[in-house]
Amino acid sequence: MSILKKRTSLIAIMLMMALLLLSACSGNKEDNNTSSTAANETNNANKAPAANETNNTDKAPAANESNATTDNSAAAADSDYPVLPRDPITLKVFIGGADTDKGIWNTTIAKEIQKKLGITLDFITGDDVKAKTMIAGGDLPDVIMTVGSVSALVNSMIQGGQVIPLDDLIDKYGPNIKKYTPGALEIMKKVASNNTDKVYFLPVRVSKANDASMAKDGFVGFYTRWDLYKGIGAPVMNNEDDFLKVNKEMQDKYPTTKDGKKTYAFSAWGGELFPYIISYPHAMGWSNWLSDTSVNATTGDVSYNFTEKDGVFWQGIKFFNKAYRMGIFDPEGITQKIDQYIAKLNSGQVFNSAASFWMGGNELIKNTGNDNAQLLQLPGPFPGYLYLYPIENPGGNSLSPAHAITKANKYPERTMELFNYLSGTEGGRLLYTGVKGVDWDVVDGKPKLIGKMANPSDPGYSDYLKSVGTEKLNRLAGLIESYPAEDGYPLDLKINIDPNTVTKAEKELAQQFGADLYPGQVYDKLVKEGKGIVNTTYFPFTAFVKQPSEQTAQTLVKAEQYFMANVAKYIMAKDDAAFEAAQNKAIDDFNAMGVDKAYDEFRKLVDDAKEFAKTVKLDQ
């Protein structure tokens, strides 16, 4: 698995993380870009990217929605856009990620897309090395995504004619893209066009700020076993040292799982930076960003992770070193696979996760026998509650990742139609919530989950989500889950707060800290009291930072590899002096490999972006 700056997607990620809200009538031309005037598709083989946010449950819908799926004749009616063929085609899409995602996408959502557009998706997976190999060898898929360091190659791909300009295709087949993501188009013209002022790449997960909505459980940070915390009396915490002491007390009281396995408060996994750039920095109010940097959520200050001795990144490594020296960091966390990490969380062997998408669920309840076993963000020890509210981000995930149509694509018009559908509210609701009439419907004038989708406590719920496919194509989704639909509700109805689906643990935490129903209410109160940090401030310069040189990108990849190869030396340092010595050597080694020069280049790009942002107005 590659070392990525923003998982997504997160963080986009992931990162994305976080770890991170319009459904239109079926006759709406903005979601059905076809018309009664037929036009044959051009065969053009030579032409050539860390949220759990919610809306208020009592918000009245603006309009009822129609069924998300229509037959071809209905899709073609009442629109000013050319009809495209509906004969079956298959698009090969490089999406990165694990091999478990590769191959023909055969989910409920995939079948709806096939029914509506006649398009089957064949996913190619792998890391940025695989993507670069395809690019260098000219063995291009139909659609490529800029995973990891591939984002540094956007200009060379444009120069080499490996990706095609999208402007004319967007004008003809992309009304949703123009309506919902105009700021993203302007940003891509400036940062990913090889100075041509054209659109070649489309970002994902464009979002709108909405302080009136908040997440039920937050998104990224430290998520701790609520049942065990309650079991030691739920002591008040005011700082990270209190948090470490509480975790030590929990581990001492609960040293083994039900089946006798040794427990640890903290763990991680090898092969990528994610465990070290997500939980602690976000808990302190910093987001992971481009080129191995972090951005302060309130000031917009940039921290250069590898070489800032007192920066938030090294502070986080020091935190895990403290945990290790207290005997509460899992030694296997240095090298184990992410699947092993998740299994330990779900079995009860590890007490803290890095994001709200690892909360244990029914598996943890079953394995522990505790009906209030859940990993939740505990109030008090850390100030950061990032992604508590939907954030303003007209550029979405920018190039982390973005997607483009390659010169190998024989169906650029139909590919753009797919992009357009996935950037609209009908397609967005399908991607995140499932099929209307099966997974959700309008009930008493409001869109609500129905059927199996409405029963997250069902033991087979996770398997059902996989069969529907709601967690896959967010890598191609133009809008974020929390994006408000025309009915006033988020595209992802699963993140709507339904009192009937609030868990026992969530309600207990809320009431323990003076709220009545769910943890988000506690975090919201802390923010309003000035005791919590959120990331609702939008810093326009972040959208206009150009890609660094290939040399800088490669230097930082080597730095990431160096860090992961030596992470045990920092986490397992025997005392403060040993930690400082290992840290100093690491920084010296980073600078010897040119990281200081790489950061100098990126710092100049940031300064240029700040000046350029003063001259641009982004509409959304």
Torsion, Cα of 493, 494, 498, 501 (10° steps): 160
What pLDDT was estimated at residue 68?
A: 35
Whichever domain contains 247, its CATH number is: 3.40.190.10
In a domain, residue 18? The reply is no
Please provide the DSSP assignment of 237-262 as one string.
Answer: --SHHHHHHHHHHHHHHS-B-TTSPB
| Dist. CA 124–CA 102, nearest whole Å | 5
In a domain, residue 421? The reply is yes
* pLDDT tens digits along 54-91: 334 433 333 333 333 333 333 333 345 688 999 999 99
- Say if CB 323 and CB 266 are below 8 A apart: yes
What pLDDT was estimated at residue 42?
A: 32
What pLDDT was estimated at residue 620?
A: 56
**289 and 310 share one domain:** yes
Give the residue among 607, 612, 571, 583 at the shortest CA–CA distance from 264. 571
In this prediction, residue 350 has a pLDDT band, given cuts at 50, 70 and 90, of very high
**377 and 397 share one domain:** no
Report which DSSP code applies to 311: S
> Residue ranges of the alpha helices (H) in 472-549?
504-512, 519-528
**Domain end residue (candidates: 441, 463, 495):** 495
What pLDDT was estimated at residue 379?
A: 97
**132 and 101 share one domain:** yes
| Dist. CA 213–CA 21, nearest whole Å | 10
**365 and 230 share one domain:** yes
In a domain, residue 25? The reply is no
Q: Which residues contact 313 (CB under 8 A, 6 or more apart)?
A: 276, 277, 281, 294, 303, 305, 306
**Domain end residue (candidates: 436, 461, 495):** 495
- Say if CB 505 and CB 361 are below 8 A apart: no
In this prediction, residue 33 has a pLDDT band, given cuts at 50, 70 and 90, of very low
Q: Which residues contact 478 (CB under 8 A, 6 or more apart)?
A: 176, 177, 180, 181, 184, 202, 204, 205, 206, 396, 419, 422, 423, 424, 428
**265 and 362 share one domain:** yes
What pLDDT was estimated at residue 436?
A: 97
Q: What is the mean pLDDT of residues 400-418?
A: 96
Peptide bond into 394 cis (omega under 30): no
What pLDDT was estimated at residue 278?
A: 94
What residue type is assigned to position 233 of the chain?
G
| Dist. CA 354–CA 10, nearest whole Å | 12
Q: How many domains does the chain have?
A: 2
**416 and 488 share one domain:** yes
* Residue ranges making up the domain that contains 546: 220-384+540-616
**Domain end residue (candidates: 437, 462, 495):** 495
- Say if CB 47 and CB 507 are below 8 A apart: no
What pLDDT was estimated at residue 476?
A: 86
- Asked if pLDDT for residue 510 goes beyond 50, the answer is yes
**200 and 241 share one domain:** no
**483 and 428 share one domain:** yes
What pLDDT was estimated at residue 471?
A: 74
**445 and 548 share one domain:** no
**155 and 195 share one domain:** yes
**370 and 402 share one domain:** no
- Asked if pLDDT for residue 6 goes beyond 50, the answer is no
What residue type is assigned to position 38 of the chain?
A
- Asked if pLDDT for residue 53 goes beyond 50, the answer is no
What pLDDT was estimated at residue 69?
A: 36
| Dist. CA 570–CA 317, nearest whole Å | 7
Q: What is the mean pLDDT of residues 133-155?
A: 89
Give the residue among 286, 191, 57 at the shortest CA–CA distance from 612. 191
- Say if CB 519 and CB 511 are below 8 A apart: no
What angle (nearest 5°) sits at the alpha carbon of residue 430, between those of residues 391 and 14?
45
Distances (CA, A) of 194 to 158, 291, 604: 7, 19, 18
Q: What is the mean pLDDT of residues 305-334?
A: 98
In this prediction, residue 96 has a pLDDT band, given cuts at 50, 70 and 90, of confident
| CB under 8 A, 24+ apart: contacts of 227-232 | 227/368, 227/370, 227/372, 227/373, 227/374, 227/505, 228/253, 228/254, 228/351, 229/378, 230/372, 230/508, 230/512
Identify the residue with better confidence: 166 or 356: 166
* pLDDT tens digits along 224-256: 999 999 999 999 999 999 999 999 999 999 999
In a domain, residue 122? The reply is yes
In this prediction, residue 619 has a pLDDT band, given cuts at 50, 70 and 90, of low
- Asked if pLDDT for residue 546 goes beyond 50, the answer is yes
- Asked if pLDDT for residue 23 goes beyond 70, the answer is no
What pLDDT was estimated at residue 80?
A: 52
In a domain, residue 39? The reply is no
In this prediction, residue 99 has a pLDDT band, given cuts at 50, 70 and 90, of confident
pTM, two decimals, is 0.75
**361 and 295 share one domain:** yes
- Asked if pLDDT for residue 117 goes beyond 50, the answer is yes
| Dist. CA 510–CA 507, nearest whole Å | 5
In a domain, residue 57? The reply is no
| Dist. CA 371–CA 263, nearest whole Å | 19
Mean pLDDT of the chain: 86
